[in-house]
Amino acid sequence: MPKNDSRFRYGTANFPGRHLLINKSLIKEMVELAKVSRGDTVIDIGAGTGALTFPLAGQAGTVIAIENDPASVQKLTSKMKEKNNINIKLVDVLQYKLPKSPFCVVANMPFSITTPIFEKFLGDPSLRMQRAVFITEKGAAKRFTAVPVINPMILAWRMWYDIRLVRTVLPNNFSPPPGVASAVVTVFKKNNPMLPPHHRRQFTDLASHALHYPYVPFVEAIGEVFTPPQIAKLAKELKIERNQAICTLHEQQWGQLFLAMLRHVPSYRWPKARKRKGRR
Ligand SMILES: C[S@@+](CC[C@H](N)C(=O)[O-])C[C@H]1O[C@@H](n2cnc3c(N)ncnc32)[C@H](O)[C@@H]1O
């Protein structure tokens, strides 16, 4: 079994999820939502036979078409003709080394690895991804944009990126049609994130600790990190009810809470992420 091939790691060897986009107006909508222009490098994840790749190449400076299926890459290459701003990579996207210069993403992605792809592209806010337009499974799109947020990884993405479910996409937009509804999701890097990128890991540790039981009251969830007087002050300053479930805090409150920890709590009390059981 090839060790680094995500088709095997995510148990999809017999189902690569090849639902090709066939609706031209949806393709146009995605390119427009990404505001692609000649200055842009755009990554097409799971390029397939180029449904998005070629329209993107018409607007972008460079398109990096990532595809791990050799037969699709062969078809894509044979369709290239004079388009010389397409850079095809036959590689597992999860192994691909992302550019150091700014880039965007437009992709009808393989549903089976949606979360690992999001974590790869949004998980390190020091990466230069500026914006993205994805087609994802609708269930995933709803999880990524849900309020309240109970998943610390998704909360961390949202501290640095605005994620929006734009609309539902029905199965008849693809060939063959998938068995589930899909959605168009946009991701834009926040202009003024509350936290600098290098705090990502420590922020996720605090969020994982506090959200271990997402519906416990605020005072309880952070009781091992802050002292009772600090909690009382935070509740007042951040306008949080003492009994409010920790998962109902909004991003601004999470940011303030984290900054307060950095300023007022000695580092030996900063939480290390606890292991979560079976929650995505
Ligand atoms: C839903 S299809 C989309 C194809 C094309 N973009 C379209 O919209 O018609 C997803 C594509 O991702 C490719 N794929 C699946 N897993 C991949 C991986 N780990 N790395 C790169 N490509 C992958 C599949 O071979 C397939 O062509």
User: Do both 83 and 19 map to the same domain?
Assistant: yes
- Is 238 a member of any domain? yes
Annotated binding site: 19, 21, 46, 67, 92, 108
Assess if residue 179 is contained within a domain: yes
Above pLDDT 70, what percent of the chain? 90
Segments forming the whole domain that contains residue 83: 6-189
Kindly report whether the peptide bond that precedes residue 176 is cis, defined as omega within 30 degrees of 0: yes
Q: Are 117 and 247 part of one and the same domain? A: no
Confidence of residue 146 (pLDDT cuts 50, 70, 90): very high
In this structure, are residues 279 and 151 in contact, taking their beta carbons and an 8 Å threshold?
Answer: yes
Give residue 277 CA to ligand 1 midpoint distance, Å. 30
What CATH number is given to the structural domain containing 84?
A: 3.40.50.150
pLDDT at position 10 is 40
Atom nearest to 66 CA in ligand 1: 21
- Domain identity same for 39 and 175: yes
**How much is the pTM?**
0.90
Q: What's the 69 CA to ligand 1 centre distance in angstroms?
A: 8
Q: Closest Cα partner for 19 from 45, 48, 42?
A: 48
Cα separations in angstroms, 56 against 28, 33, 103, 218: 9, 12, 13, 46
Residues 241 and 213 in one domain: yes
* Last residue in a domain, options 189, 224, 252: 189
| pLDDT tops 60 at residue 13 | no
| 185 and 201 belong to one structural domain | no
Q: Where residue 279 falls among pLDDT bands split at 50, 70, 90?
A: very low
Same-domain pairing of 11 and 65 = yes
What was the pLDDT predicted at 43? Answer: 98
Q: In CATH, what number is assigned to the domain containing residue 205?
A: 1.10.8
Rounded distance between C-alpha atoms, residue 254 and residue 247, angstroms: 10
Do residues 164 and 207 both lie within one domain?
no
Neighbour-count burial of 112, counting CB atoms closer than 10 A to its CB (0-12 exposed, 13-18 middle, 19+ buried)? middle
Distance 156 CA to ligand 1 centre (A): 26
**Tally of domains within the chain:** 2
In a domain, 277, yes or no: no
Report if residue 275 sits inside a domain.
no
Q: Are residues 134 and 63 in the same domain?
A: yes
Greater confidence, 90 or 12? 90
Which ligand 1 atom lies nearest to the CA of residue 16?
Answer: 15
Q: Domain check: are 49 and 130 in the same one?
A: yes
User: Would you say residue 278 lies in a domain?
Assistant: no
Q: Which of 97, 90, 148, 152 is nearest to 121 (CA)?
A: 97
The backbone region for 50, taken as left when phi is positive above 0, alpha when psi lies in -120 to 50, beta otherwise, is left
Residue 88 and residue 25 share a domain: yes
pLDDT tens by residue, 26-77 = 999 999 999 999 999 999 999 999 999 999 999 999 999 999 999 999 999 9
What pLDDT digit, counting tens, does each position of 237-257 carry?
999 999 999 999 999 999 999
Q: So what's the pLDDT on residue 273?
A: 66
Q: Which residues line ligand 1 (CB under 6 A)?
A: 6-7, 16-21, 46-48, 51-52, 66-69, 72, 92-94, 108, 110, 113
Computed over every residue of the chain, the mean pLDDT equals: 92
| Single residue among 189, 207, 240 that ends a domain in this structure | 189
Among 189, 212, 232, residue at a domain's last position:
189
Which parts are annotated binding residues for S-adenosyl-L-methionine? 19, 21, 46, 67, 92, 108
Residue 10 lies in a domain: yes
Q: For a pocket test of ligand 1, which of 8, 9, 18, 98 has the largest count of ligand atoms closer than 8 A to its C-beta?
A: 18
**How confident is the model at residue 155, as a pLDDT?**
98
Residues 73 and 167 in one domain: yes
Q: Which pair of structure tokens corresponds to residue 274?
A: 């606890």
Angle at 37 between CA 31 and CA 40, to 5 degrees: 100
> Do residues 131 and 222 share a domain?
no
pLDDT for 61: 97
Q: How many residues does the chain have?
A: 280
CA distance linking residue 271 with residue 32, whole number of Å:
42
